[in-house]
Amino acid sequence: MQRRWLLTVLAAGSVVAAACSTGGTGGGAPSASGSGGTSKGEIIIASDLPVSGADASDGIPTQNGVQFAIESTGSIKGFKLTWKGFDDTVNGAHDPQKGAQNVQQMLSDPKILGMVGPFNSNVAAAEIPVGNKGSLAMVSPSNTNNCLTQDTFGGKPCTDPNPKNIRPSGVNNYFRIAAPDSFQGPAMADYAYDTLKLTKVAVWSDNEIFGKGVADTFQAEFIKKGGQVVVRQDFDTKVTNDWKPFLTDAKSKGAQGVYAGATSGTKACIPNAQMAGIISGSYMTPDGGVNSQCIKDSGSNSADLYGTVAGANAELNPDAKATIDAFKAKFTKKDDIGSYTFMAYDCAKILIDAIGRAIDANGGNMPSRQQVVAALAKTSNLKLTTGTYTFDKNGDPTTPTMSIYHVQGTDWAFIKQFGVGGS
Amino acid sequence: MIAALRRLWETDPRRDPNTLTYTLLVAAAIVVPIVAAASGSSYLIGQIADAGVFVLLAIGLNVVVGFAGLLDLGYAAFFAIGAYVYAELASPYLEAMGIHGGIHLPFWLLLFVGMFVAAGFGALLGAPTLRLRGDYLAIVTLGFGEIVPRVVRNLGPLTNGVNGISAVDPPEMPVWLSGPWSGDPLKIVTDLKVGDPVGYYLIMAVLVAVCVVLVNNLQRSRIGRAWMAVREDEVAAAAMGVNTVRIKLLAFAIGASLSGFGGAFYASKLSYVSPDTFSFLVSVTILVMVVLGGMGNIPGVIVGSLVIYYILYNFLPDLPGYVTAIANSLGATGILQQSGDWPGLGEEVSRLKFLVFGLILVATMLLRPQGLMPSRVREQELQKGTHEDTTIEDVTAATTGVG
Amino acid sequence: MERPIAAPRATPIRLRGLVSSRVVNTIVLVLVAVVGVLVIARIWHRGPGYFAQILVYGVANGSIYALIAIGYTMVYGIIELINFAHGDVFTLGGFVALALLPMFGVKEGQPTSAVILPLLITLVVSMLFCGGVNVLIERIAYRPLRHAPRLAPLITAVGMSFTLEGIMFLWRGPFFLHFPDLLPRARIVLGPDTTIGAKELTVIGVAVVLTIVLSLFVERSKLGKAMRATAQDRDAAQLMGIDINTTIALTFFIGAALAGAGGVVFGLYFNSLSFDLGFSAGLFAFTAAVLGGIGNIYGAAIGGLLIGMVQSFSDGYFDSTWTQVVIFAVLILVLVFRPTGILGMRVPEK
């Protein structure tokens, strides 16, 4: 009795699941009308970011970028383009399980052809397999964990995550535009040793995937250059408020500067304020700290603050000025713009571009998800606000750009940018 | 069969709400997936399977908190242990330790391994601490709950630290029937790796059903009565010959084992484990499920866990959408737009999530302090207790003029 | 304070059947001795100046935990409730101060003399406000459940914690807030490599003064006596004509006032606040209360200091990733071998 019931459930469920996962191909008139019309139906680009609780300080400015890109585009080749935001936090913290559920939910809506996100690398590790099974195009503005896309990291094979293991279908559906960790830490290490002339530094990280990754690569490069890392600590920043013992330790060992492998959401620059009276020296952060929050957190000690951004400076790009001005007209508060806002904007634009080409490839009809992924992989020389993007076979940008910033007065000032290609 | 249905029909739901709840739950477990699948939202089925993990956890914690009356604030630790045991032994990860291809033990075996390892840790923690009375146990478990995720995070090569373990094997069915529903010809397949929500759901439903039956039987057994005795009056129970330490240890270990069991399934379903996901908040959430549902009453606990799960994973995330839709249908599009300091209605509501959840908890407990569906025995005790105490209160009110 | 009211009744551990208690005790003693020797060797190696400096930071950090822990211990002592919302009341204190300071026209960089009076007023107002809020919380969320199952108020406490966090989130958003850096930068040299700043002195001073005032109040005043009586036996106290509701409300008020002061001091010391700060701070403060012996005000203060110092020494001498593990391991060991905490608990067994 029971078994028959279960079989019926199974049958009904599987049929629908199968129907959903192949996506809503077909439908719509074959002739392509002007790009301004919205007669052919609706295409949705989703985002999956942590937008509530403590993580919201990262997630909301990033989501603003996606929302702005999609709403300002409006339509594509006769399809209406809309944005749908998902939140991967539960109880105020990013949750891989919630992320995986969100992707599963996106798969069940045939109108969703791609997503921007996720923000956190551990959410990505749970989402990629789900999205991969349904061929959902994913573009992340901020994931920098090397092993999400590459087989090796720092000369060692990536055992976990390993790109092959988390892509069960064998076809890559996950792309990102941030330069992986392997570039960002070393870029700052080189700058610290060569330009700032530091020889002894203290390094701490927030013990998260991103923070620990950049701190490790910074440390390795700095030592390779001939410098000395006098203290290395990893903190649980949720419960740590007091960095003074660490800074005192660093001072007693002669540190001339401090590198923080952390983001503003994990107190990247709060230790900088506490440095006052203990160490007078440079304070360096990766891109999660290059924002107004960091300057605020540094209090009166923001003068000697340096940061890297794993992307080009959108404000440097003359072509991007109109976009930035339009964004600022819509999102008026300073907190609305974060270091990933325009990275996320570009991710959405990359998806829109790929969907456009997929529509063409499908004769002006609603493309399938596989077609979008295929078009996305062929993205090449797309000029956007933070750089010109081409994806390599792993889904990484071929010529990631790295910029270095320095605080002057009350704001971040750009110092230089350089390509770090050749992954 | 007919006789059973007839009996069910004739019972008065007010006298026996549990039977009614079980019937409704079983009916919902069958109907909801069909409706969800038919309406094109098959992801819901997967989500119900995820909710099932929390149902398992809540049932397990109910043994500790509801039956034996021990407060456990670190329950997520055992959840983490179960999940990591599964992830280590069923993923390519151990290749990093020099084992080629990692270890891939079968799903069904590992469910029990996860269960026993978690129970072992439970016994290890419980043995020295269960002699402590009252809330000291709560605090020791709280400490343990804080230690486990941090140790996992710091063990580097053994647990892959902060990166967690990915590409964990999905559940497997030794025998399975494939057919048109999975796009294959109708035949019996062996060693199927379950990958679709329906498969997860079926496995989960079976696991939950088995656990409910087991725990129900335990409650009615000699052990269950001993738990109740210890909960009500430990000294009296000891005087009656109950080995209180052993009986508490048993509750603690059984609770831990169900948590480990849930953890193993969680790891296989999500195919990823990360030290971030077993924080104190998870322990608190499970406790909220148990207390809000009705401590000691299994159907109540199941309902409580489903309600809280729904609120946390569906209601709150979707709330901005609902509110926006309502505002749109009322024509009040003005408040939806962002302007100045006003972030737009949807955004504003999404910032309210914490607040809403907090208020829901407070309001529910104030309205139903005994939980949504309390056990009958406990409800009677409660009413009796209130009555006695009210008398004293009244006397004071009369003498001091303060009510 | 006087001796614990109830003799500790927890049985000493005896893993009967496995190993004799003597063996277990010996093993633990040897382990503690080994760890102790390692710690002392490390401390010796770094010299006394460094030690004193880390100690100063530890005491300052611990003073804040102590201020929060006292409220936890008082509330637990009187109604046996783990008041999860207490940590958020602490954050609220900082938030209120952050809102008040601009009203007095206080800005960074002003001379200390111009800042002292507004700061004192802010401190007092924040304390009163937090006290008021906590009394309100008790009235709404705990008092109606005084005769409900024991865990019901625990859940409303969690609910109030989320509610307070939600309110602060709505008020100031998810970002870290910069608290004005108002205290003088001057540092007093205590010895070679050891200095103490005005900030550390302020934090420690506020904590010491408030703890002394509180203990005098509890020991000497009539209301204090009522609080102790209620903690011992609520029904008997009631029969003696003590107004239970007022006494409990008073306990919540005082505890929250101290936590609010802690919040202000935290802001002044670390110059940073966030809406969810109280969750983890509360967890550590509660641990401190238990370590010291729950229900015991001095115990809570000492527990707070101890936790602050363990953090500092672990961060300054050892590996910060293990700091929290060390704290909770110390907690578990203390409870197993001395279940009543360091100073003994003052909660009668019921």
pLDDT digits (tens, 9 = 90+) for C324-341: 999 998 888 888 777 777
- With a pLDDT cut of 70, the percent of chain A lying above it is 88
Q: What was the pLDDT predicted at A374?
A: 93
Q: Does residue B275 surpass a pLDDT of 80? A: yes
Band of pLDDT at residue A177, cut at 50, 70 and 90: confident
* Contact in structure between B203 and B45 (CB atoms under 8 Å): no
Distance CA A118, CA A148 (A): 12
DSSP H or E segment with residue C346: none
Q: Are strands A174-176 and A137-140 parallel, antiparallel or unpaired?
A: parallel
Q: How many domains does chain A have?
A: 2
Token representation of residue A410: 């009350």
Q: Testing the interface with A: which of C158, C272, C322 to mutate, by most A Cβ within 10 A?
A: C272
Q: Are strands C194-197 and C187-191 parallel, antiparallel or unpaired?
A: antiparallel
* Contact in structure between B147 and C339 (CB atoms under 8 Å): no
* Contact in structure between C194 and C46 (CB atoms under 8 Å): no
**C244-303, pLDDT tens digit by residue?**
999 999 999 999 999 999 999 999 999 999 998 998 899 999 999 988 888 889 999 999
Q: Does residue B286 surpass a pLDDT of 90? A: yes
**A129-146, pLDDT tens digit by residue?**
999 988 999 999 888 787
Beta strands in C193-298 (DSSP E): 194-197, 272-273
Among A46-60, A182-196, B49-63, B141-155, which stretch is predicted with the lowest mean pLDDT? A46-60
Angle (CA) C78 C80 C86, round 5° = 85
The A residues from 73 to 112 touching B (CB cutoff 8 Å) are 86-87, 90-98, 100-101, 104-105, 107-108
Q: Classify A358 as helix, strand or coil.
A: helix
Q: Does residue B389 surpass a pLDDT of 50? A: no
The shortest CB-CB distance from B143 to any of C9, C159, C328 is to C328
Distance CA A378, CA A357 (A): 10
**A346-379, pLDDT tens digit by residue?**
999 999 999 999 999 998 899 999 999 999 999 9
| Domain annotation covers residue A406 | no
Sign of CA dihedral A376, A378, A383, A387: positive
Put simply, the answer to whether B96 touches A11 (Cβ < 8 Å) is: no
Q: Does residue B395 surpass a pLDDT of 60? A: no
Kindly report the pTM of this predicted structure: 0.87
Put simply, the answer to whether C162 touches B365 (Cβ < 8 Å) is: no
Q: Does residue C46 surpass a pLDDT of 60? A: yes
**C215-241, pLDDT tens digit by residue?**
999 989 999 999 989 988 888 999 999
Band of pLDDT at residue B339, cut at 50, 70 and 90: low
| Domain annotation covers residue A408 | no
**C200-218, pLDDT tens digit by residue?**
999 999 999 999 999 999 9
Q: Does residue C15 surpass a pLDDT of 60? A: no
| Domain annotation covers residue A215 | yes
Average pLDDT, stretch A1-9? 42
Q: What was the pLDDT predicted at B128?
A: 80
Contacts of residue B278, defined as CB under 8 A and 6 or more positions apart, other chains included, come to B76, B77, B79, B80, B83, B148, B149, B152
Band of pLDDT at residue A55, cut at 50, 70 and 90: confident
Put simply, the answer to whether A274 touches C321 (Cβ < 8 Å) is: no
| Domain annotation covers residue A24 | no
Put simply, the answer to whether A17 touches B196 (Cβ < 8 Å) is: yes
Put simply, the answer to whether A14 touches B177 (Cβ < 8 Å) is: no
Average pLDDT, stretch B41-61? 90
Contacts with B317 from chain A: Cβ below 8 Å? 86-87, 98
The shortest CB-CB distance from B93 to any of A86, A90, A159 is to A159
| Domain annotation covers residue A412 | no
Cα dist from B346 to B311, B316, C145, whole Å: 17, 12, 35
Distance CA C197, CA A209 (A): 35
The shortest CB-CB distance from B40 to any of A20, A53, A98 is to A20
Residue bearing the bigger pLDDT, B63 or C11: B63
User: Are residues A241 and A189 part of one domain?
Assistant: yes
Among A55-59, B254-258, B340-344, C241-245, which stretch is predicted with the lowest mean pLDDT? B340-344
Which range of A5-9, A37-41, A268-272, C95-99 scores highest in mean pLDDT? It is: C95-99
Token representation of residue C157: 């406490």
Q: Does residue C7 surpass a pLDDT of 50? A: no
Angle (CA) B361 B362 B365, round 5° = 85
Q: Does residue C105 surpass a pLDDT of 90? A: no
Among A354-363, B305-314, C67-76, C100-109, which stretch is predicted with the lowest mean pLDDT? C100-109
Q: What was the pLDDT predicted at A155?
A: 67
Band of pLDDT at residue B332, cut at 50, 70 and 90: confident
Contacts with A252 from chain C: Cβ below 8 Å? 46, 50, 193
Q: What was the pLDDT predicted at A37?
A: 60
Token representation of residue A210: 């991103």
Q: Which residue has the tokens 């503690």?
A: C32
Q: Does residue B402 surpass a pLDDT of 50? A: no
Distance CA B259, CA B237 (A): 27
User: Are residues A301 and A210 part of one domain?
Assistant: yes
Q: Testing the interface with A: which of C164, C175, C280 to mutate, by most A Cβ within 10 A?
A: C175
Put simply, the answer to whether A20 touches B37 (Cβ < 8 Å) is: no
| Domain annotation covers residue A144 | yes
The CATH number of the domain holding residue A50 is: 3.40.50.2300
Band of pLDDT at residue B189, cut at 50, 70 and 90: confident
Q: What was the pLDDT predicted at C347?
A: 53
Average pLDDT, stretch B238-250? 89
Contacts with C72 from chain B: Cβ below 8 Å? none
Contacts with B128 from chain C: Cβ below 8 Å? 13, 15, 336
- With a pLDDT cut of 70, the percent of chain C lying above it is 92
Angle (CA) B364 B370 B373, round 5° = 85
Nearest to C109 by CA among B315, A216, B367, A299: A299
Put simply, the answer to whether C176 touches A239 (Cβ < 8 Å) is: no
User: Are residues A233 and A207 part of one domain?
Assistant: yes
- With a pLDDT cut of 70, the percent of chain B lying above it is 87
The answer to whether residue B153 neighbours chain A at the CB level (below 8 Å) is yes
Q: Does residue C74 surpass a pLDDT of 90? A: yes
Q: What was the pLDDT predicted at B178?
A: 65
Q: What was the pLDDT predicted at B115?
A: 94
The shortest CB-CB distance from A9 to any of B33, B93, B353 is to B33
Average pLDDT, stretch A215-225? 93
Band of pLDDT at residue C192, cut at 50, 70 and 90: confident
Residue A76 domain boundaries: 36-179+320-399
Q: In this complex, which chains have at least 3 CB pairs below 8 Å with chain A? A: B, C
User: Are residues A328 and A296 part of one domain?
Assistant: no
Contacts with B295 from chain C: Cβ below 8 Å? 149, 151
Among A50-64, A251-265, B263-277, C179-193, which stretch is predicted with the lowest mean pLDDT? A50-64
Q: What was the pLDDT predicted at A358?
A: 94
Put simply, the answer to whether B353 touches C166 (Cβ < 8 Å) is: yes
Burial class (CB in 10 A: 0-12, 13-18, 19+), A73: middle
The DSSP-derived string for B216-270 is HHHHHSHHHHHHHHHHH-HHHHHHTT--HHHHHHHHHHHHHHHHHHHHHHHHHHH
Q: What was the pLDDT predicted at B62?
A: 95
Band of pLDDT at residue B251, cut at 50, 70 and 90: very high
The shortest CB-CB distance from B37 to any of A13, A91, A165 is to A13
The shortest CB-CB distance from B43 to any of A107, A129, A208 is to A107
Band of pLDDT at residue B373, cut at 50, 70 and 90: confident
Query: B273: how many CB neighbours lie within 10 A of its CB?
Result: 33
Q: What was the pLDDT predicted at B180?
A: 56
Put simply, the answer to whether C149 touches B382 (Cβ < 8 Å) is: yes
User: Are residues A125 and A93 part of one domain?
Assistant: yes
User: Are residues A339 and A294 part of one domain?
Assistant: no
Band of pLDDT at residue C20, cut at 50, 70 and 90: low
Q: Nearest-CA residue of chain A relative to C186?
A: A277
User: Are residues A147 and A47 part of one domain?
Assistant: yes
Burial class (CB in 10 A: 0-12, 13-18, 19+), A217: buried
Q: What was the pLDDT predicted at C113?
A: 84
In the predicted model, what is the mean pLDDT of chain B?
83
Domain residue extents for chain B: 1-41, 42-278
The 3-class SS string of A93-116 reads EECHHHHHHHHHHHHCCCCEEEEE
Paired strand residues for A177: none
Average pLDDT, stretch A200-209? 92
Q: What was the pLDDT predicted at C83?
A: 92
Q: What was the pLDDT predicted at B232?
A: 85
Distance CA C118, CA C125 (A): 10
Sign of CA dihedral C131, C136, C141, C147: positive
- Classify residue A146 by its DSSP letter: G
Average pLDDT, stretch A415-420? 81
Residue bearing the bigger pLDDT, A17 or A94: A94
